[in-house]
Chain A
Amino acid sequence: MLSFNWIRQNLFSSWTNSIITVVLIYFLASIIPPMFDWLFFEATWIADDRTGCTSDGACWAIIGARFYQFMYGFYPTEEVWRVNLVYALLPFGILPLLWDKMPFRKQFLIFAIVYPFLVFFLLYGGPGLTAVASNKWGGLLLTLFLGLGGIIIAFPLSIFLALGRRSEMPAISAICVVFIEFIRGVPLITLLFFGSMMLPLFLPEGLDIDTVLRALVAVIIFQAAYGAEVVRGGLQAMPKGQYEAAQALGLSYWQMNLKIILPQALKITIPALVNTAIGLFKDTSLVIVIGLLDLLGIGRAALADTKWMALHVEVYVFISVIFFIFCFGFSRYSLYLEKKLNTDNDSENK
């Protein structure tokens, strides 16, 4: 009976609410069953090509047939254990930075510092490993490499840029202002073009920077400039008293920023930082304009195969689900962080 009361109070409390409820239920009832039919019940899961998909539902066979490409691009099969190792170690490389109650966090923090170098070594190859040129990378591998790489490497840069912009030393603040304003003034696509097309022409012949690395550099400086402005917003929001109190205690510039200002400023900028991070993660699909096949590019390439053409909806649904998993993960993490830091704050105030 409780639930009956709940329904009456929340859904049928007035005439207008009742009508809206009924209309919405009607819409959901007419949309959801066919959607589920298409997605699951009438879908074809295994087929050799699109002509094997005779049912009315989705043709998920394309995802199965192309799963390798979606995950690794054209990475050679005999070397793919390296990518799998990178994927498997990803939680250990990132969690210690994100989760302060992780068991053995101290030891893992050391690993987290080693991890990016390990990633480069494993993916590109080096002493003892066959080199794999980055034109073989693709799919989720490329999306994560550019997205996470961009977000993680750009974060410290954006803090330095934000501090630099507020610096009282004119040269430093001028450089930071010019850098931030210039980078923010151009679209990411322009930076990608510049990185991939113009840069090689300035470099001496023979010195060849890898295409994916050039894209990564473009992504990092873009994200650093945007992140810097977010962090600066947090710094501006700090009351002057915090600075003065820190200086009165005789703290140096770095002590003041590291111990007093940044912990508070970064806390209030979490939602905005995560927002730009999510934006960047999705923007990485722009690399298709410089001919790199990320998750979306690999999907489009699959559609260009006469074996699988015209299955646009299936491919795009699959890609959106993967992007959703990551972006939803980011936003849940930011909620967790806010909650954790807020409770700390409240208890201090009490």
Chain B
Amino acid sequence: MKILRISALLALVTFFSAPAMAGTLEDVQSRGYVKCGVTTGLLGFAAPDDSGKWSGFDVDVCRAVAAAVLGDSSKVEFTTTTGKTRFPTLASGEIDVLARNTTWTFSRDVNLGFEFVGVNYYDGQGFLVPSNLGVTSATQLDGASVCIQTGTTTELNLADFFRVNNISYEAIPVETNDESRENLFAGRCDVYTTDASGLAATAAQADNPADWVLLPEIISKEPLGPLVRHGDHVWGDIVRWSLNTMIIAEEKGLTSSNVDSMVSSTNDPEVLRLTGNEGEYGVMFGLPNDFGYNIIKQVGNYGEVFERNIGSSTPLALARGLNAPWTAGGILYSPPFR
């Protein structure tokens, strides 16, 4: 009994130092599918369609990993997680990778014992206003009433921003995203502030989305990315390079539709390496050499994934902004594939 209690205590202590679970790759290969943690539903990022198939910007990261490891992007089992359950679910090994628009911060990376493998969306806090307010910059918001979710970092960022710019505002505290949306649409506040992707989703749900403008100022850094458990570096590398492959593919102009013809016509060595036609790169971490080809063919490059789920043709209509390749004015920059 005493031993049981001590071991329970030890388990609690080691909870945040994460159990070393080596061999996620072997587990996935023998199991035949990737276990991926996603949100319980977030417009554009993860949602089930009418037939129960999950799709979205975060979901496609999981599909890329499945395409790389198993050669089939449909071999993913999704576990829905909430903001509170996502970390314990990953730590306990119930999922292999968490792709749930999670901000990469120091303490999550270091203290919680996780490894962020990269950034798939650079988000940041922005401002949404009705277009008839006639405001073009957040610095013109002097005296505005601002809907803000209480107890969040966005609240602190907001206070800082207005103090630095020496303007005043009236905070309208709300509890949930739904509440903010209703308050904003009913005109009970002039401005709603949260992460820019969330604002785009809010505007998309308006009767007439054109009546709402996202102001150009982004006042915080919210790098969102997929993460894995500490300690299994091979698996971490696989997820990292699955994401990087999509980013490099866009840089090189490889898409799901042209990858076959590009491979046969190009003499760009990086394209050949990426698609497994030159060198033995996949086998370095235990995957087939054409893992990159499978990702591009089945899931697409980063730009395709962006456009399909959250880009200008979707109701969210998010601009590429920071999330454009470094060659096109953004900050997406993958280390070279060589």
Binding site for B on A (CB under 8 A): 65-66, 68-69, 73-74, 133, 135, 193, 196-197, 200-202, 205, 208, 211, 288-293, 297, 300-307, 309-310, 312
Q: Is the CB of A291 within 8 A of B41?
A: no
What's the minimum C-beta distance from B92 to chain A, rounded to whole angstroms? Answer: 5
B47 and A201 contacting across the interface, CB-CB below 8 Å: no
Residues of A contacting B268 in the complex (Cβ-Cβ under 8 angstroms)? none
Q: Report if A307-B52 is in contact (Cβ < 8 Å); known contacts: A201-B12, A201-B92.
A: no
B42 at the interface (CB under 8 A from A): yes
Stretch among B77-85, B122-130, B162-170, B234-242 lining the A interface: B77-85
Which residues on the A side are within 8 Å of B43 (C-beta)? 304-306, 309
B40→A293 contact, CB < 8 A: yes
A197 touches B42 (CB 8 A): no
Which residue of the partner chain B has the closest CB to A299? B41
Across the interface, which residues of B come within 8 angstroms of A73, CB to CB?
A: 52
A293 touches B80 (CB 8 A): yes
Contacts of B78 in A (CB 8 A): 135
Q: Residue of A at shortest CB range from B178? A: A312
Residues of A within 8 A of B42 (CB): 304
CB closest chain-B residue, reference A289: B82
Q: Report the bound CA distance from A302 to B42 in whole Å.
A: 10
A291 touches B11 (CB 8 A): no
Is B80 within 8 A of A309, CB to CB? no
Report Cα–Cα, A302/B316, bound state, in Å: 16
Is B269 among interface residues, defined by CB-CB distance under 8 A? no
Q: Are B44 and A202 in contact, CB atoms less than 8 angstroms apart? A: no
Residues of B contacting A302 in the complex (Cβ-Cβ under 8 angstroms): 41, 47-48
Determine the main DSSP class of A at the interface with B. Answer: helix
Query: What does the 1/0 interface line of B85-100 toward A look like (CB < 8 Å)?
Result: 1001100111000000
Q: Which 5 A-B pairs have the closest CB atoms?
A: A304-B41, A301-B41, A304-B47, A310-B205, A197-B88
* A306 B41 Cβ-Cβ under 8 A: no
Point out the residues of chain A lying under 8 angstroms from B80, CB to CB. 135, 291-293, 297, 301
Asked whether B46 lies within 8 Å of A304 as measured between CB atoms, the reply is: yes
Is B315 close to A, CB under 8 A?
Answer: yes
Q: Do A68 and B52 touch across chains, with their CB atoms under 8 A apart?
A: yes
Which residue of chain A has its CB nearest to the CB of B316? A306
Are A66 and B50 also in contact (CB < 8 A) when A197-B85, A289-B85, A291-B89 are? yes
B161 within 8 A of A: no
- Is A200 in contact with B94, judged by CB distance below 8 angstroms? yes
Decide: A202 and B41 in contact? CB cutoff 8 A: no
> A306–B204 contact, CB under 8 A?
yes
Q: Which residue of B lies closest to A74 (CB)?
A: B52
Do most interface residues of chain B lie in helix, strand or loop, or is the interface mixed? loop
Contact check, B85 vs A291: say whether CB atoms are below 8 A apart: yes
Which residues of B pack against A, CB within 8 Å? 8, 11-12, 15, 19, 39-44, 46-50, 52, 77-82, 84-85, 88-89, 92-94, 178, 201, 204-206, 314-316
In the bound complex, CA of A334 to CA of B89 (Å): 40
Assess the A309–B15 pair: CB atoms within 8 A: no
Q: With A and B bound together, what is the CA distance between A302 and B49 in angstroms?
A: 8
Residues of A contacting B178 in the complex (Cβ-Cβ under 8 angstroms): 312
Q: A74-B52, A201-B11, A293-B40 are in contact. Are A135 and B77 (CB under 8 A)?
A: yes
Within the complex, the shortest CB–CB distance from A308 to chain B, in Å, comes to: 8
Cβ A193 vs Cβ B204 within 8 A: no
In whole Å, how far is A258's beta carbon from the nearest beta carbon of chain B? 35
B85 contacts A290, C-beta separation under 8 Å: yes
Complex Cα gap A291–B47 (Å): 13
Q: Are B44 and A291 in contact (CB under 8 A)?
A: no
Q: Are A291 and B204 in contact (CB under 8 A)?
A: no
Name the residue of chain A whose CB is nearest to the CB of B309: A306
Cβ–Cβ contact B11 & A69, under 8 A: no
How far is it, in angstroms, between the C-alpha of A66 and the C-alpha of B51 when the chains are bound? Answer: 8
User: Which residue of A has the minimal Cβ distance to B201?
Assistant: A309
A68 to B209, CA, bound (A): 30
Can you list 23 A-B pairs, Cβ within 8 angstroms, ordered by A? A65-B50, A68-B52, A74-B48, A135-B79, A135-B80, A197-B88, A197-B89, A201-B11, A201-B12, A202-B8, A205-B93, A289-B82, A289-B85, A291-B79, A291-B82, A291-B85, A297-B41, A304-B42, A304-B43, A304-B46, A305-B50, A307-B49, A312-B178
How far is B80's CA from A289's CA once the two chains are assembled, in angstroms? Answer: 10
Contact A305 B47 (CB under 8 A): yes
A309–B206 CA distance with the chains assembled, in angstroms:
10
Residue in A193, A197, A306 whose CB lies within 8 Å of B314: A306
| A193 CB contacts on chain B under 8 angstroms | 84-85
User: Which A residues touch B316, using CB under 8 A?
Assistant: 306
- Measured between beta carbons, the chain A residues less than 8 angstroms from B19 are 205
